[in-house]
Every structure is written in C-alpha cells, then in structure tokens.
Homo-oligomer: A and B are copies of this chain.
Amino acid sequence: MALRTRLTQRLGIEHPVLCAPMGFVTGGKLAAAVTAAGGLGLIGGGYGDAEWLEREFAAAGNGRVGCGFITWSLATQPHLLKQTLVHAPAAVMLSFGAPEPFAAAIKASGTCLICQVQTMAHARAAVASGADIIVAQGSEAGGHGQTRTTFTLVPEIADYLTKAAPETVLVAAGGVADGRGLAAALMLGAEGVLVGSRFMMSEEALVPAGLHEAVARASGDATVRTTVLDVVRKLEWPPEHTGRALRNRFVDTWHGREGELGTADTVVREFERYTRARDAGDMDNTGIFIGEAAGLLNDVRPAGDIVRDMVAEAGQILTNRREPAR
C-alpha cells in the first residue's frame, strides 16, 4: 500500500519516512538503505568532519541521499556546506540554530531546505528562511532538542503553516518508531515522519558494540534529558538544548552535578573513561543518545525492512481502525 502525501510528492519518494541525520550514526550505508526502500536517508553531518563526510557520501554509492548539520556548529566551519552541495544532496537539513546564514546558499543551489524546529518561534524563523520542509521535533526524541512535545507541537505548527506558509511541508519527529507513530503523526497534521532511534537500531547504523543490546533492554522510562554528555565532551551547546540519553551509571552519576563534572581535572579524567568505555563496549560508563521510543525497540533490523514495515503497519491501522480493536 502506498501512503502518498505532500512529502512524498515534494521529495519524489515513495514513502513518507526520512532517516534522521544522527551525527556519526547515520552514515552513507544507512542513508542509502532508507532511500533504496522508498524513503529518504540523511547523512548525519553533525558537528562537521570533512573527511568523515566524504567517506560517507562515498559509502552511499549512487544512492540519492541528503545531509544534516548542527547549525551552530556548521557556523564555525561554513565551508562544509559548499563541500556537501558538490554532492548534489537530495536535501540539506539544518537543526539547532538560526538557519538564515545558510538558507540562501542551499536554496540558490536548488537543494531542498529542511529546517528542524522545536518551538513555534523556531517555526516562524524557518518559514522566514524559506524552508521547503519543516521538521517539528518533540522532546521525546533522542539526542538534542528542547521541551515541547510531538503531540502538541505538530498540530500547532500545522495550524500556523496553513495560515502563514501553506506550501511548506510539515514532518513530525520525536517518538516515531513504528507504523502507529507514523499513522498518529499523519493524524496530527504532519505529511510524514523523521525517524532516529528506530534506525539507530538498524543493522546499518554506525554504533559501538553493546549499544544495540543496551537499548533493546531499556524501557522508555529509562531515558532523561541531560547535558552531561555534552559537558564531558566539552561541547558548548546553547543552554536551551539538552540531549535525551539512556540513564546508565555515567548519566546517573553526573546528572545534577554538571558543574563538578565540568571542572578542569574531572572532565579530563571522565572524558578519558567515557571514551575508553565506549571503545570497550561498556555501555554503562559511556553515553547513549536515544529517544523515549527505546521502550518500543527490541530488535535490530535491516533499515529497508524498518521502512517497509512501518508503512505497511500505518496503512493497515489507518484502514482498520474503525472497529473495536485488540
């Protein structure tokens, strides 16, 4: 069953499912697999690493993919945008910061501009920058974001776009991990979904050993929005952003003690431990960004199967859900 929406029309894709550009997790292989299955994959440009980007665009082979950046970090090395546009990406997504320093160059190249937003104020800025697609990201999402939730942010932005920018296409992100989430997002007024955590639990995701098992064990109760993963990595995120991460020994030790963690000696020692634990597959003593949807994720699957099953399930419940169920 096809689930055609204004998103599939705009991007020329079959299914309204985008793979989130998870920094250093969504490589070319994962992005290309999502595209090959009928969605669109976005390479996770993250903080920006020229060599990594080249490698992952190459890994995408001939697959049509997009790329996403952390906007405030891209501002420190703006040449990476030019390097990316050379690959003629299907879209460039800007998240976490003012889009307008980059919007004009992206649009001038004929590339689809996706802006991820977390508030109504961001949505207005995205429209002002000429965003073709707005991703409304709720706080249930893994990794960085803010506090508004998918369930109310999506319809409120949908109402705003209907009045202010009816051509702009709305996509929901945060908590979408299966066909139920896709169907719900469509009901709330989105034209498709951007999915992170579910694709982190794909065979193609670039993740350390042990991560998949740790997430599969976790309930959605076991995540928290925190800054400790940024403090230990000395990343200077704007203060309104926190990152949703799995509660493990590291997070439980330092959440609420961020000032102490950030002191010179401690942060050097803890970063060394954090990195060593990650490399050793010791998932209790490093950081795992994952959304509340962790409680819905129990297996690791090929990304293409994830896309196909999500769409099939959504189509099925949209069709059937008029009679008492379960």
Q: Does A253 contact B (CB under 8 A)?
A: no
What range describes how many residues of A lie at the interface? 35 or more
Q: Does A156 contact B (CB under 8 A)?
A: yes
Cβ contact within 8 Å between B156 and A149: no
CA distance in complex: A246, B180 (Å) = 31
Contact of A150 among B149, B224, B318, B321 (CB under 8 A): B149
Q: Please encode chain A, from 159 to 171, with 1 for each CB lying within 8 Å of some chain B CB and 0 for all others.
A: 1011000100000
Interface stretch of the complex, out of A125-133, A292-300, A302-310: A292-300
Tell me which residues from 168 to 187 in chain A have a Cβ below 8 Å from any Cβ of chain B: 174-178, 180-181, 183-187
Contacts of A293 in B (CB 8 A): 152
Q: Does A73 contact B (CB under 8 A)?
A: no
Q: Which of A139, A148, A184 has the most CB of B within 10 A?
A: A184
Contact of A153 among B184, B220, B322 (CB under 8 A): B220
CA distance in complex: A119, B321 (Å) = 26
Contacts of A153 in B (CB 8 A): 220, 292
CA distance in complex: A140, B148 (Å) = 8
Contacts of A119 in B (CB 8 A): 221
Cβ contact within 8 Å between B180 and A152: no
Cβ contact within 8 Å between A138 and B151: yes
Cβ contact within 8 Å between B156 and A219: yes
Interface stretch of the complex, out of A3-11, A102-110, A270-278: A3-11
Provided the pairs A187-B318, A317-B187, A321-B318 are in contact, do residues A295 and B151 lie with their beta carbons within 8 angstroms?
no
Contacts of A166 in B (CB 8 A): 326
Cβ contact within 8 Å between B181 and A120: no
Contacts of A187 in B (CB 8 A): 180, 183-184, 187, 314, 317-318, 321
CA distance in complex: A131, B189 (Å) = 33
Contacts of A152 in B (CB 8 A): 140, 175, 177, 220, 291-293, 295-296
Cβ contact within 8 Å between B140 and A151: yes
Cβ contact within 8 Å between A292 and B139: no
CA distance in complex: A106, B2 (Å) = 48
Cβ contact within 8 Å between A220 and B156: yes
Cβ contact within 8 Å between A155 and B181: yes
Q: Does A86 contact B (CB under 8 A)?
A: no
